[in-house]
């Protein structure tokens, strides 16, 4: 079994949920999360502006500081059989790809066991 975890844009959750449902994956967990990517501030722009005596506008200041803010995203988790991993990953990619930074990340991890609380079933039967 595998756990497929995707961090996606907030406005893409309905599209992702519907795409997964269409492909037969109705069970998922979704949470609101905060985070940011690895994009770094280009301080050379700031240094150049300071050396020229440029006064930053409010918009410029917001754009520079935007890099340090935490962005609201959705974290979607789907537990699947090993043979379904690629189908789930491709479905998430197809639903979320805009070819822009911030489209998200997908992580696939091993799950050693699952136990359904109501029936005590284990393994894939508990999925």
Which domains are present in the chain?
2-126 (3.30.70.120)
Q: Strands of 71-80's sheet, edge to edge?
A: 29-35, 71-80, 2-9, 105-110
Query: Tens digits of per-residue pLDDT, 90-119?
Result: 999 999 999 988 899 999 999 999 999 999
Q: 31, 99 in Cβ contact below 8 A?
A: no
Those residues whose C-beta lies under 8 Å from the C-beta of residue 119, and which sit 6 or more positions away, are 126
pLDDT of residue 80: 95
pLDDT-based confidence at residue 7 (cuts at 50, 70, 90): very high
Residue 59 predicted with pLDDT over 70: no
Is residue 56's pLDDT more than 90? Answer: no
Ramachandran quadrant class, 114 (left: phi over 0; alpha: psi -120 to 50; beta: rest): beta
pTM of the model: 0.76
- The residue ranking higher by pLDDT, 119 or 64, is 119
Predicted local confidence at residue 38, as pLDDT: 75
Q: Indicate the pLDDT class of residue 68, thresholds 50, 70 and 90.
A: low
């Amino acid at each position: 079994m595998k756990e497929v975890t995707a961090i996606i844009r907030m406005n893409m959750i309905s599209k992702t949920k519907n795409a997964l449902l269409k492909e037969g994956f109705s069970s998922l967990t979704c949470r609101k999360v905060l985070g940011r990517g690895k994009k770094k501030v280009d301080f050379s722009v700031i240094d150049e502006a300071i050396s020229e005596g440029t006064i930053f506008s409010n918009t410029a200041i917001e754009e520079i500081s935007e890099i340090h803010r935490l962005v609201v995203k959705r974290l979607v988790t789907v537990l699947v059989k090993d043979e379904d991993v690629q189908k789930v990953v491709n479905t998430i990619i197809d639903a979320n790809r805009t070819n822009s930074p911030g489209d998200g990340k997908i992580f696939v991890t091993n799950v050693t066991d699952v136990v359904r609380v109501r029936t005590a079933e284990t393994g894939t039967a508990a999925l």
